[in-house]
Amino acid sequence: MKINSEQEMLDAGKAMADKVSGVIELIGDVGVGKTTFVRGLAEGLGIKEPVTSPSFTISKAYALPDGRTLVHYDFYRLNDPGLLSEDLVENLANPKNIVVIEWSDSVKDVLPENHTIINIKYNDDGSRELEVLK
Ligand code: ADP
Ligand code: MG
């Protein structure tokens, strides 16, 4: 799916809100739009507070109106997630959580076998290609 603007990426995230359950892994280079996608997803899930990149705090959690929680991780450049891996395992075990992960390389071994993977790539013209891999 071709994404031509930031707004279209927000809309793509928003459109996932009623399909999503469990875990989404977001794959793509720096600046490609992963966090933008999560902002749209959060809006679609009814989250009113602004969603910002968790790259310094590694994780951020947002309460949904229906009692679930969106937990957003970014493990960029974290070779050894240490205790955060345990925090992730705990959050993955809670069925009330929707867990979205950017830069999941260091935590791949704790992710459930069945989870959604979304790949985002740059096109030469500056647009993005978004693909739901599974
Ligand atoms: P990531 O989390 O992948 O590092 P961000 O979502 O934080 O990326 O940043 C993407 C940046 O690219 C934003 O500043 C956004 O405005 C800009 N942008 C430009 N075109 C697009 C597009 N087609 N889709 C998503 N983001 C876009
Ligand atoms: Mg990001």
Task: Report whether residue 34 contacts ligand 1, using a CB cutoff of 6 Å.
Answer: yes
Residue 54 Cβ contacting ligand 1 at under 6 Å: no
Sign of CA pseudo-dihedral 6, 47, 131, 117: positive
State the pLDDT at residue 72: 98
Q: What is the pLDDT of residues 25-52, one digit of tens each?
A: 999 999 999 999 999 999 999 999 999 9
The model's confidence at residue 59, banded by pLDDT at 50, 70 and 90, is: very high
Task: For ligand 1, pick from 9, 11, 38, 100 the residue to mutate: most ligand atoms within 8 Å of CB.
Answer: 9
What pLDDT score does 12 carry? 98
Q: Is 33 in the pocket of ligand 1 (CB under 6 A)?
A: yes
The domain ranges of the chain are 2-132
Q: Residue range 9-25: average pLDDT?
A: 94
> In this predicted model, what pLDDT tens digit does every residue of 60-106 receive, in sequence order?
999 999 999 999 999 998 888 888 889 999 999 999 999 999 999 99
How many angstroms does the Cα of residue 93 sit away from the middle of ligand 1? 30
* pTM for the predicted model, two decimal places: 0.96
Q: Which CATH class is domain 2-132?
A: alpha beta
At 81 the pLDDT is 84
Which listed ligand is nearest to 72 at the C-alpha?
Answer: 2
Separation of CA 65 and ligand 2 centre (Å): 24
47: its two tokens: 């989250």
